[in-house]
Amino acid sequence: MPASSRVFALALAAAIAMSSLWGAPASARTLRPATLRTGDVADRAKQKRRIALLPIKTSPVSPDELFTAARGQVPSRPIGKLLSTALQSHDYVVALGPTDIKRALTRSGATRATRKVAQERYRLGVEYYMSMAFDRAAKSLALAAKLYRDVLQDLVDPKPLADAYLIAGVSLVQAGQTKAANDVLKQLFDVQPDRRFSRRGFYGPEVDKALLNALADHRKSARPELAHGDRARMHAVARSLQLDAIITAATATRDGRQVLYLSLYREDHRAFAARFSVDVSEIHEPGSDAIRAIEAWVARSVACLPIVERDPQPTRRKYRNIWMDTSGTAGAFLRRPTRLQFFSLGFAAGVEQQMRPGLSWHGRLNVLTSLADPYRDLVGSFNSLRGLLGVSFFTSLGRFRLFFRPGLEVHLLGSAVTTRDPDCKFFGLTHFKCDKRTKTTQNFEQDVLLGVNAAVGTQIAIGRDFFAALQASGTFYFLSQSESVALNLPVIGEIGLGYRF
C-alpha cells in the first residue's frame, strides 16, 4: 500500500473513532440502569422476577356472628397453596408466600425498632384507656396504628394493628366522638375482616353499637380486589420487599355465594394490571374448571411480566467502562550496578477496562530514559520500554477511585552499559585502557527482564469523564536474559491525566 494511502486510511480511522466518541448520543455516554424489556433476553441475562402472594383476606364477618365464637369462614390455606404452586411452576420466578414475607419484614433492625415503639405506644394507649383518659388513649393508639402500618404489620400479623384500631375506636366512643370512632373501627375490619368478639357488651352497649355500624359500613364499602390497599400501598410493599409483582387474594360474599377475588399489581406500571374472580365452591373440586382458570390466570399474569435483564446494553457498558490515561513518570532502581543512584524519567500510557464491579484488567506501556548518576558510572543514558499487564482492584470514595494493581512486567532495555573504570568513561568503551572485566563493566544492552509488578494509586475526577491520576509502583525482576538482575527493584511514580470512555 502506498504511503499516501496508508496516511489516508489512518486519518479515516481516526475520524471514525472521533466521531464515534463525540457523536454518540448523550444516553450512550451515561450509565443507564437496568430496564425492563419485553423482547428476547438471553437466558444468562435473565433475572428472576420476585412475586409475592400476600396473606389471603377472608370474607368479613356477618353482623349476626360478630359477637360469637363460631367460625364459618372459607379456609384460606388451600387457596394459598393452589396459588403458590401455580406461581412456582413458572421459570424465572421467585414466589414469596406469607411466611417468606413475614421473615423478610421481621429481619430488618429498623423495622424491629419501629415495631417496638409501636408496641410501647399501644401499651401506653391502653393505660390511658384504663385510666379513662380517652382522648390521650386514642391519640397514642392512633400513633401505634400508624407505626404498625409503616412496617407492614398487617402482612406479618394483623392482630396487633387490629387491636390498636379497636382500643382507639373504643376510646373515641367513650370520648363521645362517634364519627371518628366509626372511621377507626372500619379500619379494624379492613385489617382483620373476620374479627369476632366472644361476648356482647364487654366494652359497653355504645361500643357494641359502634362496632356493628362500622362492620356494616365496611361490608358495604369493602373492595375485595383491593384487599391489602390501593396501588400506593402496593408500591410501598413492593419497594420494601423488592418485588416485581404482587398477587392479592380475598374472599367476599356476593349474592349468597363465596367468591374469590384475585388481583395482580405490577411494580413496573405501579398499577393493578389484572383481576380475576371465581366461585370458591368450585375451587375445592380437584381438576375443576375453576382451578384450571386460576392456573391460567396466574400463567397469563406471569407471562406478561417483563424479564429484567441484568445488562440491557452490554456492549455499551463495556465501552463506557474504559479508562485511558497518559502520565509522566519518574523512578529509580533500588538495586543497580552503579555506585550511586541514577534516576529515570519518561512517559506512560495505560488502558483499563472494567470486568465487574471493583475489578478490571489493565495494560500499560512506559518509556524510560535515564539521567546521569553523580559518578557517571552509567555510560551515556539508556532508554527502555516497560510493558505491564494485570488486574486492578478498585473502590470509589467520592471523587477518588483508589486502585491496587498486581501484574506482570516485561522490561526491554536499550543500550545500557555501566562501568566503574574512569578510563572507560573518558576514553571510551573500546579504548585499550578500558577495563572490560565484568567486575567493573557490565553491558545490559538489549536485555529483557521479566518480573512481578504492583501498583497503588488513585484517579481523581476533575470534570466530566476526565480524571487526574497518581500512581506508585514497584517491580521485582525474577528472570533475565543475562546478568541484568543487577538492575532490579524499580520504584516508579506517575502523575497524569486520563479520560473515561
Find the shortest distance in angstroms from Cβ 445 to other proteins. 21
Q: Is 422 in the site for other proteins (CB under 8 A)?
A: yes
Q: 457: closest CA among 492, 488, 500?
A: 492
In the complex with other proteins, the residue whose CB is nearer, 72 or 428, is: 428
**The one among 70, 109, 398, 432 contacting other proteins by CB under 8 A:** 432
Least distance from C-beta 381 to other proteins, angstroms? 11
Dihedral angle over CA of 279, 281, 287, 293, nearest 10: 10
Asked if 367 is part of the footprint of other proteins (rule: CB under 8 A), the reply reads no
C-alpha pair distances (Å), 484 with each of 389, 414, 464: 21, 12, 44
Using the rule CB under 8 A, give the single segment among 93-101, 153-161, 209-217, 368-376 that binds other proteins.
Answer: 368-376
Helix axes 158-174, 109-130, angle to 10 degrees: 30
Which conformational region is residue 255 in: left (phi greater than 0), alpha (psi within -120 to 50 degrees), or beta?
left
Q: Does the protein bind other proteins through residue 372 (CB under 8 A)?
A: yes
Q: Which is nearer to other proteins, 342 or 477 (CB)?
A: 342
In the complex, minimum distance from the CB of residue 382 to other proteins, in angstroms, rounded to a whole number: 15
Residue 375 makes contact with other proteins by CB under 8 A: yes
Strands 49-53 and 93-96, sheet pairing: parallel
Q: Which of 24, 28, 293, 332 binds other proteins (CB under 8 A)?
A: 332
Q: Give the residue with the Cβ less far from other proteins, 393 or 427.
A: 427
Q: Judged by CB under 8 A, does residue 426 bind other proteins?
A: yes
Which residue from 133, 212, 274, 345 is in contact with other proteins, where contact means CB under 8 A? 345
Establish if 493 lies at the interface with other proteins (CB under 8 A). yes
CA distance 305 to 47: 12
For residue 325, state whether it binds other proteins (rule: CB under 8 A).
no
Residue 299's CB is within 10 A of a number of other CB atoms, namely: 14
Query: How many residues bind to other proteins according to rule CB under 8 A?
Result: 27
423 in contact with other proteins (CB under 8 A) = yes
Taking alpha carbons only, the member of 216, 237, 236, 234 closest to residue 226 is 234
Rounded to the nearest whole angstrom, what is the least distance from the CB of residue 419 to other proteins in the complex?
Answer: 10
Strands (E) across 303-439 are located at 307-309, 322-335, 343-356, 359-370, 378-379, 383-397, 400-413, 417-419
- CA gap 307, 47 in Å, rounded: 7
- Report CA torsion sign: 132, 136, 142, 146: negative
We find the least distance from the C-beta atom of residue 225 to other proteins, in angstroms, to be 59
Question: Which three cell numbers mark 96?
Answer: 414469596
Is residue 369 within 8 A of residue 381, CB to CB? The reply is: yes
Q: Is 373 in the site for other proteins (CB under 8 A)?
A: yes
Interface residue with other proteins among 201, 314, 374, 387 (CB under 8 A) is: 374
The C-alpha R_g of the chain, in whole angstroms, comes to: 38
Which one of residues 35, 428, 456, 479 is an interface residue with other proteins (CB under 8 A)?
Answer: 428
Binding site for other proteins (CB under 8 A): 330, 332, 339-341, 343, 345, 371-377, 420, 422-423, 425-428, 432-433, 460, 470, 493, 495
